[in-house]
Structure 1
Amino acid sequence: MPSDSSEQGQPGRSAKAFGLSDADDLGESPDRPAKSRSRMTLVALLIVLAAAIGLLTLSRWKDAQLSTERANSGLRHPAVGEPLPELHLEPLVGTETTVELADVKGQVVLINYWGTWCPPCRVEFPHIVELSERFGDREDFRFLSVSCIAQLGGDTSRLQSDTAAYLEHQNVDFPVYSDIQGISRWALLQAGRSDSFAFPTTVVLDRQGVIQGVWVGYASGYEQGMGNLVDRLLDASAEPAASESAGAK
């Protein structure tokens, strides 16, 4: 018996027979999967970007913490809090005056031991120059630059010529001293109960000749700690003087 073509096969007609895609039949747009993938990609990129920003922020915070630790490291030296037993510096370049401990009493003092032969000293040198210029106008501040050779004793004339040439190359004209016999360095070692000396070494004394900071070697941030300490000591020294002046009036 012949089948009715209008009945047969009708349930099997696909959506395409009506000009529709399968996606249309399901009520979906043909490009919806592509849009979803784009959104997922965008979200992933945003997550990666946020993570990168977080890591960068953490890195900068750690760098700031490290810089602060370096700046303050000089305050933890074992010689801090001890009086400097002795200071004896001979004139080397730009001065003819010997400096003894008694000559700097009543002043905040920054002593920098360095050498033209010493790579870390050369890196530190511009920062030390900046500190000397920053506080140089203060009568209650004294900067003592001490050029040294690697070993005690040695040729003073060679040290003098090398130092003078280096200062000229750096366009610097402050007075520089020597510690050929190591008297001043040995005094610092005694105060810190140590038996080894490294270059550069920078010492800050208060008005009473007490060691308040010692930075051994050089790392970025040391100069910040030196400057902060000198500032603090000068401010502390100025307060009693201001009070006495006000009382006299």
Structure 2
Amino acid sequence: MNPHPPSESSSARSKPEKSKPEKSNLGIWFLLLACLCLAIFFIRANRGSGSGSSAAVGKPSPQIDLVALDSGKAIDMDEAAPNGSVRLLHFWGTWCGPCRMEYPHLAETAVGLSADPNFRFLPVSCESGAGETMGGLAEKTNQYFARESITSPKLADPRGITRQSAAERLEQPSLYYPTSMLIGPDGTIVGVWEGYTPEAVDEIAEASKKLLSEI
């Protein structure tokens, strides 16, 4: 999971003159590392699920306030994703490693699902930080799409309204990346996938097809 762009530091590598740690200290560090790995495993297992365990499932759709990334034109949601349709709202970013791993498969799956006129894919390309402009975001997104040969809508949330509303539904201060919300025809959230797992896209496809078959 990637709530924020990764940062790197080389300070730990620049002090060769330090003596080696005591063996007892090494043991403590290995124990802490093992505990951290276990914690990450369990958090990822929980957040990588689209099950009903998410706090958002059963709640109304978040407020959706999006623009076309290339033009900046506001999206008319009554036309783009009308009530009664199955909507997949997806938050991702080119700066997010797990997002880049998942997005080609997800976009390809969404193309197949879009053969049903009742399915709508709403992928939101998100900024890497507060200083990034919409122009810069569009350029990075277009470069990534060209490099990966992706065909997909390109949407943005310049005012942050959609992300904040989604985080509120999840009862979190902010979103993890990537995050997918599947919204049923009645306007309620029926599934949430936070973070990347190899099986997530297949789960999303299966859940979407089930909803579409019931319309």
Normalising by structure 1, we get a TM-score of 0.62
Aligned-residue Cα RMSD (Å) equals 2.4
Question: How many Å separate the matches in 2 of 1:169 and 1:160?
Answer: 14
| Aligned length in residues | 170
8 Å Cα contact 2:63/2:161 also seen in 1 = yes
- In the other structure, the counterpart of 1:195 is 173
8 Å Cα contact 1:84/1:209 also seen in 2 = yes
8 Å Cα contact 2:48/2:195 also seen in 1 = no
Cα distance, 1:100 vs structure 2:
3.1
- In the other structure, the counterpart of 1:98 is 75
Distance verdict in 2 for CA 1:127–1:173, change over 3 Å: closer
Counting only pairs closer than 5 Å after superposition, residues 54-73 of structure 1 correspond to structure 2 as: 72-73=49-50
Structure 1, gaps ≥5 residues long: 1-67, 238-249
- In the other structure, the counterpart of 2:143 is 165
Cα distance, 1:152 vs structure 2:
4.5
Please tell me whether Structure 1 or Structure 2 has the larger radius of gyration of its CA atoms: 1
8 Å Cα contact 1:71/1:224 also seen in 2 = no
CA displacement, residues 127-146 of structure 1 (integer Å, 9 cap, x when unaligned): 21221122111110001111
- In the other structure, the counterpart of 2:34 is none
Question: How many Å separate the matches in 2 of 1:94 and 1:107?
Answer: 25
Percent identity of paired positions between Structure 1 and Structure 2:
30
Cα distance, 1:151 vs structure 2:
2.9
Cα distance, 1:199 vs structure 2:
0.7
Distance verdict in 2 for CA 1:88–1:132, change over 3 Å: same
- In the other structure, the counterpart of 1:83 is 60
Distance verdict in 2 for CA 1:113–1:101, change over 3 Å: farther
8 Å Cα contact 2:164/2:174 also seen in 1 = no
Cα distance, 1:181 vs structure 2:
1.9
Distance verdict in 2 for CA 1:161–1:144, change over 3 Å: same
- In the other structure, the counterpart of 2:18 is none
Question: How many Å separate the matches in 1 of 2:92 and 2:165?
Answer: 17
CA displacement, residues 82-122 of structure 1 (integer Å, 9 cap, x when unaligned): 00241011111489551436752111011111111110001
8 Å Cα contact 2:49/2:192 also seen in 1 = no
Distance verdict in 2 for CA 1:71–1:234, change over 3 Å: farther
Larger fraction in helix: 1
Question: How many Å separate the matches in 2 of 1:70 and 1:154?
Answer: 28
Question: How many Å separate the matches in 1 of 2:76 and 2:193?
Answer: 21
Question: How many Å separate the matches in 2 of 1:101 and 1:186?
Answer: 21
* Higher RCO, Cα 8 Å, sep 6+: 2
8 Å Cα contact 1:83/1:209 also seen in 2 = yes
Distance verdict in 2 for CA 1:150–1:95, change over 3 Å: closer
Distance verdict in 2 for CA 1:158–1:69, change over 3 Å: closer
Question: How many Å separate the matches in 1 of 2:195 and 2:46?
Answer: 15
Q: Say whether 1:151 aligns with 2:129.
A: yes
SS of the aligned residue for 1:157 comes to helix
| 1:118 alignment partner AA | C
Normalising by structure 2, we get a TM-score of 0.71
Cα distance, 1:196 vs structure 2:
2.4
SS of the aligned residue for 1:154 comes to coil
- In the other structure, the counterpart of 1:186 is 164
Distance verdict in 2 for CA 1:101–1:150, change over 3 Å: farther
Structure 2, gaps ≥5 residues long: 1-44
